[in-house]
Amino acid sequence: MSIELPIYLDHHATTPVDSRVLEAMLPYFQRDFGNAASHSHVFGWRAEAAVEDARERIARALGAETREIIFTSGATESNNAALLGVVRARAKRGNHVVTAVTEHRAVLDPLRAHESSGGRVTWLPVDSDGLVDPSAVEEALCDETVLVSIMAANSEIGVLQPIEAIAAICRERGVLFHTDAAQAVGKIPFDLASLPADLVSISAHKLYGPKGCGALYVRNKRPRIRLEPLLYGGGHERGLRSGTLAVPLIVGLARALEICVEELSQAAARAAGLRDRLRAAIESGLDGVVLNGHPQQRLPGNLNLSFEGITADSLLIALKDVAISSGSACSSATPEPSHVLLALGGGAERASSALRFGIGRGNTEEEIDWVAEQVIASVRGLRAERRRGASVAQTRRGG
């Protein structure tokens, strides 16, 4: 079987739109192009019907109620809306928030803004596998704690946090719990009928849907959550998120999520198999390879490896026909080592030599085997080059 280059292994950064999703979206770009807020003619009625149908299907897939789904532009907006919306709405009760140091920048940055405006944040550490200890969350809670935010699955090292235990602790203490589930929903079982989360962020483009669309789950009862909106101007989405709704993208999100849920068991098993195949092949051909993140408690398609003696940047250049990354795509503009990898305690050298492989729906065994061969050859070449350079430098110093 021939392999088409380049090979895409960066499915945590984004995913291609599934052809079935594109087919569902197409009518709403031209034929049914109406504004869902236009209630005086059939074009608006059709658009509104499409949005409400999508809302119902998303709610069903997540185990939520229809009115608990609020549409946004993506997980970044959903995270900001949840975090800042809660701290502003609950300012009279307290201003303390608990989170983990390995969260996505879309959580870390708004909470830093909260701190800079006088709020208080507890930044919890993680263990060497990247896991948050639920007991540490409980110990951090106080009378002024209004929110805990712990992501479901880490975008870099794929670690699955114990959010069920953390959410239960928060519920018992009367503290709201938010989780950034952009990387988890559609890849692992996720049911809000059993998970006592109060706010959940998701994104379409992480699950073979379109870019520019996401949703925020806002619990409507026991307790009913009140948020201070970030956007004003029209009162759309129950007043929580004003702005004209992106009907085609919302339809795409619903269809993408449905497909992921329907095919989850088979897709997860397949991705995990390819991940394990890639890891075994690389480790059989190289020494000095370190797995980042928990070996079992991780996303099926995630593999994050550090390669001793080289830098990730040099390996990325060598692997020009493989699309992979050295960290979160949303933070790739910063040259510093990943804050997630540094938090594991392995040091800057280990963090700077890490690559993230994100395996997705379209990858094949042939691609995985070819990538493993390229990684092994490239690492060996870079290590040999480094040894030669060190030898030359030593000779010059001796002369």
Token pair in block for residue 364? 């094949």
What average pLDDT does the structure give for the chain? 95
Rounded-to-integer distance, Cα 352 and Cα 308, Å: 10
Of 142, 170, 260, 330, catalytic: 330
Residues 251 and 275 in one domain: no
Candidates 59, 89, 52; CA nearest to 250 is 52
387/198: higher pLDDT: 198
Residues 40-60, mean pLDDT to the nearest whole number: 97
pLDDT of 370 higher than 90:
yes
195 assigned to some structural domain? yes
Residues 150-172, mean pLDDT to the nearest whole number: 98
Main-chain dihedrals φ then ψ at residue 38, nearest 5 degrees? -90, 105
Residues 180 and 75 in one domain: yes
Q: Choose the weakest-confidence range: 16-20, 222-226, 339-343.
A: 222-226
- Cβ atoms of 70 and 80 within 8 Å: the answer is no
108 assigned to some structural domain? yes
pLDDT of 138 higher than 80:
yes
What residue type is assigned to position 150 of the chain? Answer: I
Residues 246 and 291 in one domain: no
Candidates 252, 194, 190; CA nearest to 62 is 190
* Catalytic status, residue 170: no
Residues 48 and 144 in one domain: yes
Q: Is 194 left (phi over 0), alpha (psi -120 to 50) or beta?
A: alpha
Among 230, 262, 294, the domain boundary falls at 262
Taking only the tens place, the pLDDT of each residue in 308-335 is 999 999 999 999 999 999 865 555 555 6
Residues 222-228, mean pLDDT to the nearest whole number: 91
Residues 271 and 363 in one domain: yes
Residues 256 and 268 in one domain: no
Among 262, 288, 321, the domain boundary falls at 262
Residues 285 and 205 in one domain: no
Residues 134 and 160 in one domain: yes
Instruction: Answer whether 0.85 is exceeded by the pTM.
Output: yes
Percentage, residues of the chain above pLDDT 90: 91
Among 221, 247, 262, the domain boundary falls at 262
Residues 11-35, mean pLDDT to the nearest whole number: 98
* Structural domain that includes position 269: 7-15+264-398
pLDDT of 68 higher than 80:
yes
Residue 30: give its domain's CATH number: 3.40.640.10
Residues 164-174, mean pLDDT to the nearest whole number: 98
- Strand pairing partners for 201? 180, 216
Token pair in block for residue 257? 């999520």
220 assigned to some structural domain? yes
Task: Output the pLDDT for position 26.
Answer: 98
- Cβ atoms of 199 and 176 within 8 Å: the answer is yes
Main-chain dihedrals φ then ψ at residue 101, nearest 5 degrees? -70, -15
Residues 91 and 230 in one domain: yes
Rounded-to-integer distance, Cα 170 and Cα 188, Å: 22
Residues 27 and 50 in one domain: yes
Task: Output the pLDDT for position 223.
Answer: 86
Please tell me the total number of residues recorded for the chain in this structure. Answer: 399
- Angle, CA 344 vertex, CA 338 and CA 350 arms, to 5°: 60
